[in-house]
Structure 1
Amino acid sequence: MRRVSFRLPADEKEELLDALMPLLPNGVRERTVEDAAIELTTVAAAPPTRAALETAAGRVLAAWEERDVPADWRQRRARFGGGAFLVGERVLVRSPWDPPAAAGVVDLVLERAGGGFGSGSHATTRMCIELLLGLDPVGGAADLGCGLGTLAIAAGRLGWGPVVAVDRMDGAVAAAHENGARNGVEVAWEVLDLESAQVPLAELVLANAPPPVHARVADALRASSASARTRHVIVSGVVPAELDGVAEDYAVAGWTATASLVEDGWAAALLEPAGA
């Protein structure tokens, strides 16, 4: 197998990809290498030549590199990475086949299985972790709609505890349980449908979920005596156009947004008690 990588100007990426993709049927992996450049990588038994790609692009392809690589993608991942996400320079979310985190960086190793969401590849997960990094860990955490367990595990590794995490999918909870063990984090994992069951609360609530779930969480914060100990709610799983409506549900319960993020067409916010 051959691995080919090159760089394109970020502001011309879409136009150039339209010209290049017919020659790259195996697809490409992209990463931002600097503000004005995107690195594209493709792997194939017989990739197109540099001349063919440059002819299609109508320009020289900068930083061209081509080399033989193992056929097994796991070996390639261990050698080159490409599936890991560094959040806030403090937390690395990666698969077992990616290179480990640098010294001083929290290393979260997640195996995607069980149909679960939240491996770190999605913007909502990354934004939730970024907001989490701004909080001092005081008390427990509840991950509502935990998927593969990324947020619950991150909270545990950052010092929150005890941690409870729920999801309505059996397979996701089973995979999350394995991920928790892989990362040495104790979490009370539970299969739970948040649209009908009682919503668990803690000092920190992590809700990366669609608007109907947020409405249920807001109701729980308003009605439950357990909500008195909740100090922070991190919400995501919504697009920017939905965030105002979700924030209104929480506002009725006495919560207000103190920080917000938008990435790749998704939104996240940190909520705290109004007037706190």
Structure 2
Amino acid sequence: MTIDESVYAASATVQRSFTPRELPGTLYLVATPIGNLEDMTFRAIRTLKEVQLIAAEDTRQTRKLLTHFEIQNRLVSYHEHNREASGPELIRLLAEGQSIALVSDAGLPAISDPGAHLVSDAVAQGIPVVPIPGANAALSALIISGLPTERFLFVGFPPRERKGLNKLLDGLENESGSILFYESPHRIKKTLAVIAERWGERRAAIVREITKRHEEAIRGTVQACLNHVEEFSLLGECCIVLEGYNETMSGSGEEGKAASSWWSSLTLEQHVKHYEALKLKPKEAMKSAAIDRGISRRDVYQSLLDQQEED
């Protein structure tokens, strides 16, 4: 996406979102529910009722939402395939004084969707852009992941091709913040497999069906999460939250490895039970623990057997 650099010149421009004006109109970025209709805010409903026009990524999906909340305003289509034609027309209407609400299929518009182009064009034309906050899948996944939230990087949807994904991961090698990905259910296994090849012992969480009836968070190492999705097919859009890099990960030998491992305070038996709690079969749970500890599954089995005999 190209941003008009003239807007960001040495002399700053100032937007006062709530200053009364006649021209131009205002572009409102309205968050919509990501699954649960109760996440729609009063402000979002009021805004959608007050604007002259609603631009939607999928008019059929948005029409259902508008019908539910008894909103009858004019609805037009704005998406990746028609943005070059629709974008200039929306900017023209805004310049003439109309207020427009932009919505995506779900969540915040302009996040990994073509709305970002419309925002850029509006800013370049001096048109006020006002956010109407609400639900967001990536941040919702982050805050329940159990991983650090002080610093994070949102990557969006990773490249489909293995080469492109590896190139992306190369650039994230030393990223210290938690890393957030979106991924489709039919690609989650392949994406995790590539990540596991280099960062199999990093902590991760897969969060799916956020705010819906079957909301689920799968937590463990990247390898453990991969083992889980290989055994249990996932439905619904997924968010991957990945632990960032920290200096202990560069430790060498068993001491460095233990320092960087979430399981270092667990006994072997507790380690295996952790994976069993994630609904892995006993053999798979032992395999996951073995991968974490850098030992063979046979060693895990024998150690547990010896422990039982001692008890």
TM-score of the superposed pair, with normalisation by structure 2: 0.29
The structure with more strand, counted as a fraction of residues? 1
Structure number with higher relative contact order (C-alpha < 8 Å, ≥ 6 residues apart):
2
Give the structure with higher Rg (CA).
2
The structure with more helix, counted as a fraction of residues? 2
